[in-house]
Amino acid sequence: MYRKLIKKTVAVCILLTFIFNGVSVLDTTASLQQTSMHYSFNSSSNTTGSTGQNQAMYSVMQFIPKTPSWLKPDEKDEDNKNYGLPPEFNWRTYGGRDWTTPAKNQGGCGSCWAFAAVGALESVINIANFDAELDMDLSEQYILSCIPKAGSCMGGNSYLAFYYLISSSNDGNNVNGIIPEDCLPYKANDDIPCSDKCPDWREKLVRLSKTGYWNLDGDSEKDREFLKSKLIDYGPLVVYMAATNDFMNWGNKYHTPNSYYPDPGYEPSINHAVLLVGYKDDPSIPNGGYWMCKNSWGTNFGYNGFFNIEYGALHIDDYAAYVKVPSTSFNPIAGGSGPYQGLVNEPIQFYGYAIRGTP
């Protein structure tokens, strides 16, 4: 089964078909591997809204190197069996605040993996500092230009981005951290030299402390509950999926927060990375509910750049990667109607679910 292959594969980002000002997309039943897609992007800015009028043709995705075999996945702990998880959780609304940052636009570059990684970092920084308004805008271009081992405009691996950002080796630009967007603005081009970053970039570094990933079985209720628990414990997570033409057409048509993409019942190849931010259990849905995700195709896709997708659809819950940043004295404790504060590692009980705090 293809699900087993995910353990040795990485996300390959599609080069998109949207003309955002017209919110249109090619309508074709051809496979993504055989299709050329029309995409509009203004490369002078990393916008969260509509793009400029200049258009270009891009061919679709290529395979990229696998995660090195020596980078092993994290073990899936078994202590979540009896968690009384809440039926719904969303980092966009937890405690009446939005702990995520706005959806961005990757443009005509297969850099979804970098955008998903940066989206996770930006949210985790908000959570670690107990400040939903912090909303740092970090540089995806820094990952493309200064961490080339993680990937390129032809695709990449979000976990490798985290791994090398933490590393102080040559592959990690000899330092732990990432810089703000204004220090190296996004150009949707992996030929931009790392030397283009601002002169005081070292003073602006935002440090990372830990990363890891899990291989999951999206058909397993046990693994699904595990993923929900880690989403609550760790904050938004990077997940991979198969972004089909049908999915793209759906996201251009449906723009309400209660719409979800249904499981099509087949498993195309993984080609895209997004950020998992929430979930909702719903027994009226065949697979029991849906995930809430942030995309990197601008705000005209889905609802303000976010979308919902049914549990088990398009490999959305077959893999997840996390990142942590240095903790403050207090961390937000998820799972209640809060917001609440709790000491790091202090167990708090909500809905029968022990929130453990950041280790």
Residue 77: predicted pLDDT? 77
Catalytic residue among 126, 252, 271, 295: 295
Residue type (1 letter), 74:
D
pLDDT tops 60 at residue 32: no
Residue 66: predicted pLDDT? 63
Catalytic residue among 13, 46, 105, 112: 112
CATH 3.90.1150.10 holds for 2-355 = no
- Identify the weakest region by mean pLDDT among 64-78, 133-147, 167-181, 295-309: 64-78
Question: Under a CB-based contact definition with an 8 Å cutoff, are residues 161 and 143 in contact?
Answer: yes
For residue range 150-197, list pLDDT tens digits in order.
999 999 999 999 999 999 999 999 999 999 999 999 999 999 999 999
DSSP string, 307-328: EEEETTGGGTTSEEEEEE----
* Spatial separation of the C-alpha atoms in residues 118 and 296, rounded to whole Å: 11
Catalytic residue among 80, 173, 252, 272: 272
Residue 319 to residues 144, 217, 288, 357, Cα–Cα distance (Å): 22, 8, 19, 22
Question: Under a CB-based contact definition with an 8 Å cutoff, are residues 343 and 330 in contact?
Answer: yes
Question: Under a CB-based contact definition with an 8 Å cutoff, are residues 252 and 26 in contact?
Answer: no
Residue 57: predicted pLDDT? 28
For residue range 233-264, list pLDDT tens digits in order.
999 999 999 999 999 999 999 999 999 999 99
Name the DSSP class of 269: P
80 is catalytic: no
pLDDT band at 39 (very low <50, low <70, confident <90, very high): very low
Residue 321: predicted pLDDT? 96
Residue 343: predicted pLDDT? 41
pLDDT band at 43 (very low <50, low <70, confident <90, very high): very low
Q: Which residues of 89-101 are buried (b: 16+ CB within 10 A; e: fewer)?
A: bbbbbbbebbbbb
Question: Under a CB-based contact definition with an 8 Å cutoff, are residues 314 and 244 in contact?
Answer: yes
Spatial CA neighbour of 310 closest among 344, 340, 287, 293: 287
pTM of the entire structure? 0.81
pLDDT tops 60 at residue 41: no
112 is catalytic: yes
Mean pLDDT of the chain: 80
Domain boundaries, the chain: 2-355
Spatial CA neighbour of 318 closest among 242, 216, 213: 216
272 is catalytic: yes
